[in-house]
Structure 1
Amino acid sequence: MGWKTLDDMDLAGKRVLVRVDINVPVEHGVVSDATRIEKIAPTVQDILARGGQPILIAHFGRPKGKVVLDLSLRVCVPALQRVLDRKVKLVETLDAAEDMTEEARSADVLLLENIRFHPGEEANDPAFAARLAGLGDIYCNDAFSAAHRAHASTEGLARLLPSCAGRLMQAELQALEAALGAPARPVVAVVGGAKVSTKLELLGNLVEKVDSLVIGGGMANTFLAAQGIGVGKSLCEHDMTEMAGDILAKAQVTGCEIILPVDVVVAREFKEEAAHEVVPATACPEDAMILDAGPQSVARIVTALENAKTLIWNGPLGAFEIAPFDAATNAAAKRAAELSMAGALVSVAGGGDTVSALNRAGAADGFTYLSTAGGAFLEWMEGKLLPGVAALDEAA
């Protein structure tokens, strides 16, 4: 890892442009979940403690290069002030930011209005990036969740100012490096969710990197179908069975063990506490749906976890939103959390429904690292170079 951290920078008296992700949920004009704001607090507080002035750059929603008043970052100011315990001043235009008086700069923390109000942001326009760079002395990227976007505030700025990763970005990159870059072996990956089609690149990359790959959720049905196994009325991408077969063949070449369900929980209707039964994976009734992995499958997954040193988890093993079809996800997640807390396993999870599933299982706090980065986390797992990270590497 070639990028610098805040520890490598002299911040005293410096204006620090900090790219953050505070794209938080809002209900009735109030931030309803401040988790993303809480996550940036260590970076902002570190800059302040070392004599720098944080100037936060963030997006909110998708205004597509136009001013949309309903997507103003003004709604985030009260939550920012509460979490940071500092005065936060919203700077409404780039002109205002460039013309600020010393008195106006005296706020502890400055927040630039929604950066996506400017068409130059998503276009990564060099002239726009240069205007942003003129506002600061140092660039700090603390938004791993936006690092897969080559925008002016995520990529362009890193090429114009001395640059570093913030504490959240640093933690995320170190966790992912531990999981996929130079992991302790054996490595097991758990990949679940509805569709193989959305995770082809991910699966193709993982079978080259991990020792065991657990496939669950609706995706598993497609892999069963690829082996000629009937899946009844289950969610299944029958047009993807050839691709699934290619993944299975590739795994044989790379020596990656593929773990598919050997028994399944089936039901005739998809609803809470629907009548259900456990059957062999090869014996799904034609009028039934596979909605979860069965107890024998869970036992196989748990054994793989207990033999592993590193775990990467993305996606649920069944229809985790409703009982009893959350049982496999809950059981495997709890065991992974126990092993992690005992120091036997380094576990990194993220993307899509994963955080929600692990929270429902009561296991999220036990994982070594839980990423909320979504698309960036998945692209990293797919082996892709993220523009925001690459720019930090080059800047160093």
Structure 2
Amino acid sequence: MTFKTLDDLSDIAGKRVLVRVDLNVPTKDGKVTDATRIERVVPTIRELSEKGAKVILLAHFGRPKGEPVEEMSLKPIAAAVEDIIDQRVHFAADCIGEAAATAVAGLENGDILLLENTRFHKGEEKNDAEFTKALAANGDIYINDAFSAAHRAHASTEGLAHLLPAYAGRTMQAELEALEAGLGNPKRPVVAIVGGAKVSTKIDLLTNLVKKVDALVIGGGMANTFLAAQGIDVGKSLCEHDLAETARSILTEAETSGCAIVLPVDGVIAREFKAGAANEVVDIKAIPADAMVLDVGAKSIAAVNDWVSKAETLVWNGPLGAFEIAPFDKATVAVARHAASRTKSGALVSVAGGGDTVSAMNHAGVADDLTYVSTAGGAFLEWMEGKPLPGVDILHQQK
């Protein structure tokens, strides 16, 4: 590995360890509704605490734009972390200054402290040198365990690594190892599945993938744009007709790179977008003018699963259909379960993430059966697009 991990840390008892975590979790009425991101960082927090470190958590919550906003305080999140880790979590009303310094000074070895929202200060998102120094004043060691924020060069995600010895936490380590196995140095053949609504949000992603994978499966509303670009009438289906030329250029790039493009050959159509809507399967070239494609049909599922069966590595971003509404979830579920089965047998390395992908994998009941499911969203997508991630790049430079 080209970055340091907790395995490279020794004798940290009594050391003040600043740990950047992702606690930007969904809440309702002050209560956390999905604790997945908290659960992901527990191993790092617990390991440091058990080794006697003074664990000081840095995180953001929401978009307060550099000003304190009561509704975006991390104080309620501290209680959720405390419940999950089953250990007292202290809280400081600021992440720098006297409030933070006093709270840090009061820590015993093994204690855990959550500092207030880093984005309550403008210096956070600006990666301001003075703000970064103020954060660093409370730590001896810096650990980044927030891959989901690693695509931002902020004070707490990148700046601190210039001032303190920097390491990857267990979640960051797992993510980077999975990504390396997915696209960095993968076992071939590599198949990518990219779904979702719009091509416009994934042009960079598709352009990068056709140069790196052996086959690219395009599903969801995005597939309609590619079909229309080839002269197929997609009826009232979601389609970005103005991106036909972009779609054709991606197809040409794929051909040049030797990447097979897998598009639907049949589709599940309906006249209305609602649960249980009357639907039927038609050939992709026979979509009625008054209908829309909301999922792919059995022949398309078989074609995708055939590629998954050939693959040694699978990278997945986005559903194949409108999986949130039955019966238009069949393709996503069927392919996800096939991928999970091959992964469990040891035949496939499967890495999924970004956007609705986590929800789709949970819906299919396979989130725990794939090699790795990333909750990172934007950072995962930017990695798939081949873009630099400042919070990761600085860790590589520390080795």
Which TM class, normalised by the smaller chain length? Answer: over 0.9
- 1:364 corresponds to 2:360: no
Q: Distance in 1 between matches of 2:220 and 2:78?
A: 40
Which residue does the alignment assign to 1:91? 92
How do 1:155-166 and structure 2 match up within 5 A?
A: 155-166=158-169
Supply the RMSD in Å over aligned alpha carbons.
1.2
1:153-212 Cα distance to aligned partner (Å, 9 max, x none): 001001110000000000000000000000000000000000000000000000000001
Q: Distance in 2 between matches of 1:90 and 1:96?
A: 13
Q: Distance in 1 between matches of 2:336 and 2:328?
A: 14
Q: Distance in 2 between matches of 1:215 and 1:259?
A: 6
- Tell me the secondary structure at the aligned position of residue 265 of structure 1: strand
TM-superposed CA distance for 1:9, in Å, is 1.6
- 1:296 corresponds to 2:299: yes
Which residue does the alignment assign to 1:52? 53
TM-superposed CA distance for 1:13, in Å, is 2.1
- 1:169 corresponds to 2:172: yes
How do 1:209-220 and structure 2 match up within 5 A?
A: 209-220=212-223
Which residue does the alignment assign to 2:314? 311
Residues 93 and 100 of structure 2 are in contact (CA less than 8 Å); yes or no, is this contact kept in structure 1?
A: no
Q: Distance in 2 between matches of 1:102 and 1:303?
A: 56
1:283-314 Cα distance to aligned partner (Å, 9 max, x none): 11111101111100000001100111000000
- Tell me the secondary structure at the aligned position of residue 143 of structure 2: strand
TM-superposed CA distance for 1:395, in Å, is 2.2
Q: Distance in 1 between matches of 2:44 and 2:179?
A: 19
The one-letter code sitting in structure 2 at the alignment partner of 1:178 is: A
Residues 21 and 144 of structure 2 are in contact (CA less than 8 Å); yes or no, is this contact kept in structure 1?
A: yes
The one-letter code sitting in structure 2 at the alignment partner of 1:81 is: E
1:260-295 Cα distance to aligned partner (Å, 9 max, x none): 001111111111111111111111111110111110
1:103-123 Cα distance to aligned partner (Å, 9 max, x none): 622381011100000110001
Which residue does the alignment assign to 2:347? 344
TM-superposed CA distance for 1:69, in Å, is 1.0
Which residue does the alignment assign to 2:4? 4
Which residue does the alignment assign to 2:232? 229
How do 1:226-265 and structure 2 match up within 5 A?
A: 226-265=229-268
Q: Distance in 2 between matches of 1:2 and 1:136?
A: 24
Label 1:263 to 1:112 Cα distance change in 2 as closer, same or farther (>3 A). same
Choose the corresponding residue for 1:147, options 109, 125, 150.
150
Which one is further off, 354-363 or 53-62? 354-363
Q: Distance in 1 between matches of 2:105 and 2:274?
A: 60
Q: Distance in 2 between matches of 1:320 and 1:339?
A: 22
TM-superposed CA distance for 1:51, in Å, is 1.9
The one-letter code sitting in structure 2 at the alignment partner of 1:87 is: R
TM-superposed CA distance for 1:98, in Å, is 5.3
Label 1:298 to 1:137 Cα distance change in 2 as closer, same or farther (>3 A). same
Percent sequence identity over matched residues? 63
TM-superposed CA distance for 1:99, in Å, is 3.8
- Tell me the secondary structure at the aligned position of residue 355 of structure 1: helix
Residues 87 and 109 of structure 1 are in contact (CA less than 8 Å); yes or no, is this contact kept in structure 2?
A: yes
- TM-score, normalised relative to structure 2: 0.97
Number of equivalenced pairs: 396
Q: Distance in 2 between matches of 1:27 and 1:99?
A: 31
Label 1:101 to 1:32 Cα distance change in 2 as closer, same or farther (>3 A). closer
TM-superposed CA distance for 1:92, in Å, is 0.9
Which one is further off, 333-342 or 29-38? 29-38
